[in-house]
Amino acid sequence: MTSAVRATGLRPEARLLLALSAPRWDAASDHAVRQWSDAGVLADWPYFLDQALTQQVICAIGRNLGRHLPRNRSVLPHPWIYSAAYEANARRNRSLFAEFGRILLALNERGVRYAVRKGPSLCALVYDDPGIRRMSDLDVLVERESLDAAGEVLTELGYAQGVPSANGTRVIPHERKTKLFWAVHLNNALPFLRTTTEPEVRWFEVDLCFDLFQKRSAGGVEVGVVLDRARPAVVCGEPSFVLSPLDQLLDLCLHLYKEATSYLSITQSRDLTLQRFLDVKESIRVTAPADLDRLPGYADDLGARRELFFALHHTGLLYPDAVPADLLARLEPDDLGYLDEYGELEGRPTRWKRGFLDRLFDPDRWTELPGASSIPTG
């Protein structure tokens, strides 16, 4: 049986979701799904579909149903829904790759130092099929002094900072309070958008980030040093730069921690998504053992032990074989009480009443929050 389905205490639909969303299908994945099907377990299929969407793994499920279980489609009712999601996402990602490649080419020509983060980098270098992972935007790490130059590139390409209008035909500038809040509290510029008539995209979005750490974080690293370590790679069809293996793993873990503990993310039900844990799992897989061996010392140097252990610990609960036990032991902090806390970003730390596995697949976990996030979004 795959490591994904060894997590105890999960309802049958959640166990099947973990098995069917495997990015790399193997004999163990096939056995787990067929064993579940042969058992004839009655399932809440509307709940399963909702979780496949919420956990952002519907595309991987669609690929696996169509490619790896051609004679066993009856494992799910209406399998075309999942296959259609995969095919639509593959088309969507091709459109995003073409647009993002145009941006990367322009950044190269302007001489802006940068590194591509998260989605486009993962789709290009970690996942063997970019159609199984949905991308939302182009995340680019730049030095703060390069922000104006990068912004000019985007403006020349038709981008503007704001939110899409109701009909999606223009970008409406942000309110002053939103601009002020982001400038004071967050580690990235307000997103740049360009509307499009492509139905599967709606608008293109670019996020310029100038720090891997949040402003309230105890740790930190100089962006210039991170960019010095960036490695060349072809992303979106263009010669580009991506984070070094250790910095990529650090970045994913920091982002996972931020989203999992933010009031805003929780109220929008995007705090815990299976896709983020898969990103960490797959990035560990492609990171050289020598680099993983350096990770605990690297975390201590940057003051990131809490965030890294949080992400790897919870990834290990879902995928025990993915996270080396000795790595977790070397990263483990003295106090583990923070693992069940949230609200640090807003300065209002609060403790969950239930454990991680109880919350992960509960769409109503946000109702436990005592108040809404203070982060303006308009």
Would you list the DSSP string of 67-136? HH-TT-GGGSSSTHHHHHHHHHHHHHHHHHHHHHHHHHHHHHHHT--EEEEHHHHHHHHT-S-GGGS---
Q: Kindly compute the dihedral angle of the four CA atoms of residues 36, 2, 126, 275, in this order, to the nearest 10 degrees.
A: 60
Mean pLDDT of the 146-155 span: 95
Choose from 27-41, 109-123, 199-213 the range with maximum mean pLDDT: 109-123
254 and 226 together in one domain = no
90 and 204 together in one domain = yes
209 and 248 together in one domain = no
262 and 134 together in one domain = no
Whole-angstrom Cα distance, residue 164 to residue 193?
8
pLDDT of residue 3: 42
47 and 128 together in one domain = no
pLDDT of residue 377: 52
**CA 268 to the chain's CA centroid:** 15
The pair of three-digit structure tokens given for residue 76, joined into one six-digit string: 């799910």
pLDDT of residue 1: 36
Mean pLDDT of the 69-97 span: 86
64 and 16 together in one domain = yes
254 and 231 together in one domain = no
Whole-angstrom Cα distance, residue 15 to residue 4?
8
Specify the long-range contacts of residues 62-67, CB closer than 8 Å, at least 24 apart.
Answer: 62/86, 62/87, 63/129, 63/131, 63/132, 64/20, 64/21, 64/22, 64/25, 64/29, 65/20, 67/25
Residue given tokens 């025990």 in the structure block: 320
Mark which of 243, 267, 291 sits at the end of a domain. 243
CA distances from 22 to 25, 208, 279, 324 (A): 6, 31, 11, 19
320 and 195 together in one domain = no
Beta bridge partners of 238: 235
Mean pLDDT of the 59-85 span: 85
Phi, psi (deg, nearest 5) at residue 66: -75, -35
Say which DSSP state 340 is in.
G
The band of 347, judged by pLDDT with boundaries at 50, 70 and 90, is confident
Whole-angstrom Cα distance, residue 308 to residue 298?
10
In terms of DSSP bridges, do strands 114-117 and 138-142 run parallel, antiparallel, or are they unpaired? Answer: antiparallel
* Mean pLDDT computed over every residue of the chain: 89
Q: What is the DSSP string of 141-156?
A: EE-GGGHHHHHHHHHH
Beta bridge partners of 122: none
Cβ contacts of residue 90 below 8 Å, gap of 6+?
59, 130, 131
pLDDT digits (tens, 9 = 90+) for 130-143: 899 999 899 999 99
Domain count, the chain: 3
251 and 366 together in one domain = yes
**Range with the poorest average pLDDT among 39-53, 108-122, 167-181, 189-203:** 167-181
Q: Kindly compute the dihedral angle of the four CA atoms of residues 36, 40, 42, 47, in this order, to the nearest 10 degrees.
A: 30
266 and 315 together in one domain = yes
Mean pLDDT of the 91-114 span: 96
Whole-angstrom Cα distance, residue 106 to residue 208?
14
Domain of residue 129, CATH code: 3.30.460
Give the percent of the chain with pLDDT over 90. Answer: 64
pLDDT digits (tens, 9 = 90+) for 270-325: 899 999 999 999 999 999 999 999 999 999 999 999 999 999 999 999 998 999 99
Asked if pLDDT for residue 110 goes beyond 50, the answer is: yes
Whole-angstrom Cα distance, residue 75 to residue 33?
8
Q: Which residues form the domain of 108?
A: 86-243
Mark which of 195, 221, 243 sits at the end of a domain. 243
25 and 171 together in one domain = no
Mark which of 243, 272, 301 sits at the end of a domain. 243
**CA 164 to the chain's CA centroid:** 22
Phi, psi (deg, nearest 5) at residue 206: -130, 130
Say which DSSP state 323 is in.
S
**Range with the poorest average pLDDT among 12-16, 68-72, 88-92, 327-331:** 68-72
Asked if pLDDT for residue 22 goes beyond 80, the answer is: yes
**Range with the poorest average pLDDT among 91-95, 106-110, 340-344:** 340-344
The band of 187, judged by pLDDT with boundaries at 50, 70 and 90, is confident
The answer for 284, left when phi > 0, alpha when psi is -120 to 50, beta otherwise, is alpha
Choose from 70-74, 188-192, 321-325 the range with maximum mean pLDDT: 321-325
Asked if pLDDT for residue 4 goes beyond 50, the answer is: no
Asked if pLDDT for residue 186 goes beyond 50, the answer is: yes
220 and 268 together in one domain = no
Whole-angstrom Cα distance, residue 114 to residue 107?
8
Asked if pLDDT for residue 162 goes beyond 80, the answer is: yes
Measured distance between the N- and C-terminal CA atoms of the chain, rounded to whole angstroms = 46
